Structure 1
C-alpha cells in the first residue's frame, strides 16, 4: 500500500468564539498565540494535600479546532476541558452538570488513577455507573492515591464522545520537601491526538458498515491542545467541510529557555492513531511513561509511537549543533494501521517553537543521539525483580479479535474470549452476578487484604492490528511481549512448554496502565490485586472499544 508523505502543515490561530487563547508579543512586535499549556509544579509540589472543588458545566458548540467547523464538547465553554493540577493525596470533588441537548448522557473517567476505595467514581458506564442524564448533575468525589503522581488525563467514557473533544489534562505533581528553586523544571502539557471532521458517531457508523469491510475510519487531521492545522484545499468532494484558511505565521506553539530544564508531558488523546514527536533543533530524552514510571531513556531526535491512552514525559534540550533559535514541533501520525488512504489527511503537522537564551554548542562526541527512540520498547530505569514475585498466584488467559459474523449483519465487532461487550444498565456494580447479561466477561479475583494475590493476564491478540489496552484502577508490569512473523503467535502457559517470546523479564519490566499489545502475538501483564472493585479493561482505539472489545475484572 502506498503512503502519502506530505510536507508538514502549519498551525492556525483561531478555534472559535468564546475560547481563551493566551498571547504574547515578540521583540519584533509580532503577536503570537500559544497552543501549549504551561504547568505550575511550584504551586502544588511544595504544599500540603488539600481538597479541590470544581464545578463543570458540559455543553457542545461549533468550533474550528483546525480551521474546520465542527460540533465539539465543551467544559465551562472550553475545549479541551480545564487542566487539573494536583499533588499526591489531594481530594478532587467535581460537580458535573450535563447541559447537553437531545437527551445525551455523559460520564467522566480519570485515566490512570487508582480510585482506591471509590470504585463507583471510575466513570465506566455499564460497569460502575449509568451515564449522567441530560439536565442532571453528578458529583465525582475521590482522593488521589498518596503514592500516585505523573501524567494522567480525563475523558468521557460514554459512547464516542472522546473523539469529539471530551477530554482534558490531569497532572499529579510529586510532593517535595525542599523549598522551591530556579532549578525546578519548566513543565508543559501536550494533549496530542488524531482528529475527525465528521462526528464520532458518523465515523463509527462508517467503520461498522458491512460495506467498509472492517476498515477503521482514517482521521483527517491532528490537534495539539485543541488546536491544529488543516489545508482547506485538501478537503475531498465526497466530504465537504466548512473550512477557514488563516495566517499561520502568527502562531508559536512553545517558548523554551536554554537556561532552564524543560519537560514535556505528552498524552495521546486520539481515537485511533499513534504518533511520533520531534522538536527540530532539539533532542528529546524519555523520562517516564504513564503514571510517572521512570524509564531507561536515551537522547533521540524523535520519540514514538505513542498510542491512544498512553502518556510519556520528555526532557527537551537544545541540539548541540543548533544555529538558529527558531525550531519546530513536529507531530507525525503512525500510518501503518491505516488500511486505506485518506487524501484529506496530511499525516505530519508542524508547530513553530521559539528558544530564548544563548545557543548551546557542545562537541558532538559528548553523547550519542539516536534518530528514533521507540517508546514501545522502553524498559524500567531500575531493577523491578525485588518488587515482583517469581510466579503469579493466578493466571488469566484472554484472546481478543475482531470478527465479522453473519448473525451480526457482517458488522465488525471486537470480542474477548468470544464475548462481545455492551454496557449494561443498571451497571454491574449494583447488581448480583447472576443478573449480569451474556455480554459481560468478568473473571473473578479473590481480594485478600492481608496478602493480595499476584495475577498474570496473558493477553493474546489474534488480529493483524496491535491494540492499546488500558486497565482501570491498576498499574501492571509488562513481563513479556511477542509478535509472530508467521502464525498466530498466541501463548497458553497451561499448554505450551515455553513462551514463544522467551522468558519473562522481571528486571526491566515496565510498569504501565496502558500497553500496545502486539499483532498476532501476546503480552503478559502482571498486577497485584490489592484494589478491590470492578475494573474495566478495554482497547483504547475508540472504534474497537465501541464495537465490543472490552471486559472487566471482579476483585472483591
Structure 2
C-alpha cells in the first residue's frame, strides 16, 4: 500500500459492495417465466424525483455511508493538502494486518516557498507519504535509494516489542547506509498498546533538513479509544446534509470529540542544503553559532518575500504557496503537529481558537487548554481545535494559524527570515441538499482547496500572558494506572552535554556527551560487534579521547532496569533530547540558571514527584540547566540518546544505551551484517 495519493487507482465506491456497472438478471432453467412488469401509474411518478435525488447523492457522494474511504482521496479534490487529511475509520475497526509501502527516494529540484532548492522526495512527495496504521500492524517498507548518497529511515517514537532493533535506522549503530541504487526492506510489528502521532525520517547526515521525512500515525482499535458511531444509514445521510443533529464521529478516551483529523508537519527551513549549512557550521569561522533558518514550512510549503533575501538564491515568489486548510464550519477537527525542523522550537497558535491538547509524543494526556503550544524539534502534539467565538465559525471566516519560531537559539540576525510565518484556516458552509445536487462539491469537502484570490485573514494574534505560557513539564497521563511511578533499580547515570571548540580539533564545534563525541563507523555498526567488551563503558574511568570513540553504557546484560538519567546542559542553548526505542518519565526539568551552569547539585537534589508524569520520547533541556529522566530499559538492543538539533547530532552530541545484549536475537545482528554486505558490494561496484 502506498501513500494516500500515490499508486492508488481512483475508483468509485458503491454501497453494499455492489459492482459499478449495471446489474443483470438471468433466468434460472426450469423457473417460471417472470411476470410482465406493472405499468407506471400517476401515483408512482412521485417516486421518480426521489429516486433521482438518491441516485445523484450516491454518484456524487458515496461515502455518506459507513464504508471506509480511500485515505485522503477525493474524486474531484484538487487541494494538494488532501493527503494530510487522515482516515482513522479505515483502520480502527479492523484486525491487525501487514501494511506495505514502496518508497523511492530521489533528489529533485523544488520550490517549497518560492526559492529553488535541491530536496529529497519520497515517491515524488515532500514531505513523504503519510503512513496510517492501527496498533499491532506490521509495517513493511521497501526502500529504493535513487539518490547519490546513502540513506536510512528511523521510525521516531516507535517501540519494537519483538526485539527488532535492526529496523531502527541508526547509521553506524543498527545498520549500514542503504547505498545509492540499493534497496532495503524495513519490517517490524508495532506494539499492540502503542498509538498516536509519530514520524519517520532519515537518520543519515543532514537529509532530514532537506525534506526526507513523513508522518506515521497509529490509530488505536475502536474499543480502546475513538470510534465511529454506527448510526442507521439514513440517520447518517440526514446528519451529513444538516437535516439532523449528530455527535462528532470520533470520541477520545478523555471524552473529547472530533470529526476529522489533519496532520501538520511544521519546522524551520533553510534555502541552502543541509550539507552546505553544516559545512558552514563545521568551520572555525562560524564560532560555533548554529545556522539560522530562512523560513518555516507547514506541510512542505510557505510563501517567501524574495526582496528579503540577502543571499544569492533563485527566487520566484509566485511559486510559493500560503498553507491553507479548509474546514467545515459544522465539524470539529483534531490537528496533529509534528516539528520536523532542524533547529528552532515552534510556537503554534490559531487566532480566536484555543488548543485542547490531548496527546504528547504518543501519550494520551490529561487534557490541557492553551492558546499557544510550544513544539520542539522531534516532538509531537495532538490538539482539538476549539473556536472561542459565539456559536460556530461563520462560513467564509478565515483565521491565521501562526507558526512563531523561537529566536532564543538564534546567535545572529538573519534579515532574510520572517520569524512568524503563517498558514490560513478557512471555514466553509455545511453541506446542503442543493450543494450536493449541484455537483460542485467534491467527495471529501475537507479536501477542498480554498478559492484563489480570497483576502487574507484580518484576525489578531493572542496576547499570551506569563501565566498562560504552555509548560510541557506539567503534563500528566490520562490513564490513572499510568501514573504509577516505578522506583529505580540501579544508580543514576550522570551525563554532561555541551559543544566545545578544542585546539586539537581545529577549533571546530564538536558536540560532546561526557567527554566523547559520537563518531560512528558507518561500515561497522556497533550492533554487529558482539561481544562488545573492547568498546563498551564497563564502569572503568573513560580515557579522555575527545571524540576517538563512541560513548556506550550497558544497563544490564539480561534483565530490564529502571534508572534515572541526570542530564546537565552546559550550554547557552536548549537541547531537545530524544530516546530511541523507549519513552521516559521527565521527572524534573530545572529552570535556566541565572549564574553558572545550573548543573545538578548532589547536596541539594530536587524533590522528585511520586506520581508519574506523561511519558515522552523527546524533551527539551533548557540552557544552563539539567533534567532528570526516569527510564525503564526493557527492550533488548542498542538505542541512541541524542540531541535532535541536527547540527548538534551531526557534530557528535549523542550516545547509546546497550540494553540486555544477551537477549538480542541473533537474527538482528545478522540483518545488520546483511545491510553492511550490501553497502560494501555497492561501494566496490559489485
1:64 maps to which residue? 111
Distance in 1, matches of 2:471 and 2:604, equals 27
Distance 1:216 1:386, change over 3 A: closer
C-alpha offsets along residues 17-57 of structure 1, whole Å, 9 cap, x if unaligned?
xxxx999999xxxx865477101111111111000111111
More deviation, 239-248/320-329: 320-329
2:92 maps to which residue? 45
Provide the TM-score with structure 2 as the length reference. 0.71
Which is richer in helix?
Answer: 2
Distance in 2, matches of 1:399 and 1:124, equals 22
1:16 maps to which residue? none
Give how far 1:136 is off.
1.1
The 5-angstrom pairing of residues 402-413 of structure 1 reads 402-413=499-510
In the alignment, is residue 485 of structure 1 matched against residue 589 of structure 2?
A: no
- Asked whether the equivalents of residues 484 and 612 of structure 2 are also in contact (C-alpha less than 8 Å), the reply is no
1:540 maps to which residue? 644
Give how far 1:522 is off.
0.8
- Asked whether the equivalents of residues 106 and 124 of structure 2 are also in contact (C-alpha less than 8 Å), the reply is yes
Distance in 1, matches of 2:322 and 2:300, equals 14
C-alpha offsets along residues 371-429 of structure 1, whole Å, 9 cap, x if unaligned?
65414333214457852124443311111111000000001011000001112231000
Provide the TM-score with structure 1 as the length reference. 0.87
2:351 maps to which residue? 280
Distance 1:399 1:119, change over 3 A: same
Distance 1:23 1:251, change over 3 A: farther
In the alignment, is residue 440 of structure 1 matched against residue 550 of structure 2?
A: yes
Which of 309, 312, 322 is the matching residue for 1:240? 312
Partner SS for 2:647? helix
Give how far 1:348 is off.
0.8
1:498 maps to which residue? 604
In the alignment, is residue 353 of structure 1 matched against residue 425 of structure 2?
A: yes
The 5-angstrom pairing of residues 178-257 of structure 1 reads 180-181=228-229, 182-184=248-250, 185=258, 186-236=260-310, 239-246=311-318, 253-257=324-328
Q: Which has the larger radius of gyration?
A: 2
2:40 maps to which residue? none
Give how far 1:158 is off.
0.5
Which of 119, 128, 143 is the matching residue for 2:165? 119
C-alpha offsets along residues 131-154 of structure 1, whole Å, 9 cap, x if unaligned?
111111111011111111000000
- Asked whether the equivalents of residues 83 and 130 of structure 2 are also in contact (C-alpha less than 8 Å), the reply is no
Partner SS for 2:599? coil
Distance in 1, matches of 2:227 and 2:656, equals 43
Distance in 2, matches of 1:148 and 1:377, equals 22
- Asked whether the equivalents of residues 174 and 526 of structure 2 are also in contact (C-alpha less than 8 Å), the reply is yes
Give how far 1:447 is off.
4.9
More deviation, 438-447/194-203: 438-447
In the alignment, is residue 340 of structure 1 matched against residue 412 of structure 2?
A: yes
Aligned residues: 509
- Asked whether the equivalents of residues 303 and 317 of structure 2 are also in contact (C-alpha less than 8 Å), the reply is no
Runs of at least 5 residues in structure 1 that lack an aligned partner in the other structure = 1-20, 359-367
2:211 maps to which residue? 165
In the alignment, is residue 460 of structure 1 matched against residue 568 of structure 2?
A: yes
Which is richer in strand?
Answer: 1
Partner SS for 1:341? coil
Distance in 1, matches of 2:91 and 2:569, equals 41
- Asked whether the equivalents of residues 98 and 106 of structure 1 are also in contact (C-alpha less than 8 Å), the reply is yes
Which of 517, 521, 527 is the matching residue for 1:420? 517
Distance in 2, matches of 1:525 and 1:281, equals 36
Give how far 1:112 is off.
0.3
In the alignment, is residue 100 of structure 1 matched against residue 141 of structure 2?
A: no
In the alignment, is residue 511 of structure 1 matched against residue 609 of structure 2?
A: no
C-alpha offsets along residues 476-508 of structure 1, whole Å, 9 cap, x if unaligned?
00011113222211115xxx1331xx3012325
In the alignment, is residue 376 of structure 1 matched against residue 472 of structure 2?
A: yes
Which of 137, 155, 163 is the matching residue for 1:110? 155
Partner SS for 1:444? strand
Which of 121, 124, 141 is the matching residue for 1:74? 121
Distance 1:188 1:235, change over 3 A: same
Distance 1:165 1:385, change over 3 A: closer
Partner SS for 1:511? coil
Distance 1:519 1:77, change over 3 A: same
Distance 1:519 1:153, change over 3 A: same
Give how far 1:257 is off.
2.9
- Asked whether the equivalents of residues 195 and 222 of structure 1 are also in contact (C-alpha less than 8 Å), the reply is yes
Give how far 1:281 is off.
2.8
1:303 maps to which residue? 373
Give how far 1:251 is off.
5.3
More deviation, 426-435/309-318: 426-435
2:435 maps to which residue? none
- Asked whether the equivalents of residues 285 and 316 of structure 1 are also in contact (C-alpha less than 8 Å), the reply is yes
Give how far 1:161 is off.
0.4
Distance in 2, matches of 1:78 and 1:123, equals 21
Which of 173, 190, 194 is the matching residue for 1:144? 190
Distance in 2, matches of 1:240 and 1:436, equals 46
Give how far 1:218 is off.
0.2
Distance in 1, matches of 2:227 and 2:414, equals 52
Distance in 2, matches of 1:217 and 1:247, equals 25
Distance in 2, matches of 1:384 and 1:478, equals 17
Partner SS for 1:336? helix
